[in-house]
């Protein structure tokens, strides 16, 4: 089906991630991915830019894995804080404007708030819109900070399809926060991941993943991501051209781009590895 063009991980949930060249993958996904989360001290809810009114500033922070179990957060003003620092919670609380805690494990049944994407498109990221509660890691190991599954993949064919309809003529994959960007080459076109759901991919020589469901998109692609300005059309274009059923109980249909996946066999993945659809 193609080759791995980009590899990404996001050591702290809802922050900007780091692009990497090679990584180990296991049942918990890309090593170090979403290994930490920011938790609202007052409510116990996991902070997520899916509710932009409250948590959009998280996407101004960049996280990197220092070593297993240790992450660094870079602030826009050049300061940084390491998860082991005694004052890490205070620095983060001052930055986001609420009392928060940086945690290395999600509580059982942990929840986050997900704003209605259509209302964000209508009212903007600063609008105080309706939201639903989403339980974390329904398709991932307990204690992790994934929205659903441990892996997100995205193809260049889908990106090109969205870009062709976007007013700017292109979209940046960083807005959709993939782990794997798969270059599908010139022979495939459109939202090919939709047809992979229920199938299995082999990546490189070792890694096998099951593709679960198309990835429903929230308000996050519309937001500022570091040096990327806000872009409502990054979601609006997906909604207009790939509004499809999501086979998860109670979810219905949604604007989808990319796919959720789960690891069957772990191992090492590198940029350039071949990706084969096994069925």
How does pLDDT run across 42-86, given as a tens digit for each residue? 999 999 999 999 999 999 999 999 999 999 999 999 999 999 999
Vertex 261, ends 255 and 264: CA angle to 5°?
170
pLDDT of the residue at 279: 67
Are 207 and 182 in contact, with CB atoms under 8 Å apart? Answer: no
- The yes-or-no verdict on residue 5 having pLDDT over 80 is yes
pLDDT at 250 over 90: no
Q: 244 φ, ψ to 5°?
A: -135, 160
Of the candidates 55, 40, 62, 61, which has an alpha carbon nearest to the alpha carbon of residue 96? 55
Looking at the domain that runs over 2-277, which CATH code has it been given? 2.40.33.20
Paired sense of beta strands 100-103 and 37-40, if any: antiparallel
Give the pLDDT score at 163: 97
**Residues 98-124: what's their mean pLDDT?**
96
pLDDT at 101: 98
Domain ranges across the chain:
2-277
Measured CA to CA, the distance from residue 90 to residue 276 in angstroms comes to 46
């Amino acid at each position: 089906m193609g080759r791995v063009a980009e590899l990404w991980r996001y050591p702290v949930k809802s922050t900007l991630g780091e692009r990497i060249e090679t990584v180990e993958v296991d049942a918990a996904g890309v090593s170090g991915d979403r290994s930490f989360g920011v938790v609202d001290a007052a409510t116990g809810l996991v902070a997520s830019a899916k509710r932009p009114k409250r948590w959009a500033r998280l996407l101004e922070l960049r996280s990197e894995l220092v070593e297993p179990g240790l992450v660094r957060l870079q602030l826009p003003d050049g300061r940084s804080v390491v998860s082991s620092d005694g004052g890490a919670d205070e620095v983060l609380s001052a930055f986001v404007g609420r009392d928060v805690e940086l945690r290395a494990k999600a509580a059982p049944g942990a929840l986050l708030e997900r704003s209605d994407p259509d209302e964000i498109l209508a009212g903007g990221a600063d609008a105080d819109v309706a939201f639903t509660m989403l339980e974390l890691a329904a398709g991932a190991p307990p204690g992790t900070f994934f929205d659903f599954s441990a892996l997100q993949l995205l193809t260049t064919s889908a990106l090109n399809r969205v870009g062709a309809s976007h007013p700017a003529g292109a979209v940046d994959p960083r807005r959709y926060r993939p782990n794997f960007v798969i270059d599908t080459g010139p022979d495939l076109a459109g939202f090919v991941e939709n047809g992979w759901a229920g199938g299995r991919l082999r990546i490189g020589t070792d890694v096998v993943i099951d593709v679960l469901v198309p990835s429903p998109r929230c308000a996050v692609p519309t937001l500022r991501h570091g040096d990327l300005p806000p872009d409502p059309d990054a979601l609006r274009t997906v909604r207009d051209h790939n509004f499809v059923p999501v086979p998860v109980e109670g979810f219905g249909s949604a604007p989808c781009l990319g796919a959720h996946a789960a690891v069957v066999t772990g191992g090492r993945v590198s940029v350039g590895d071949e990706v084969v659809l096994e069925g």
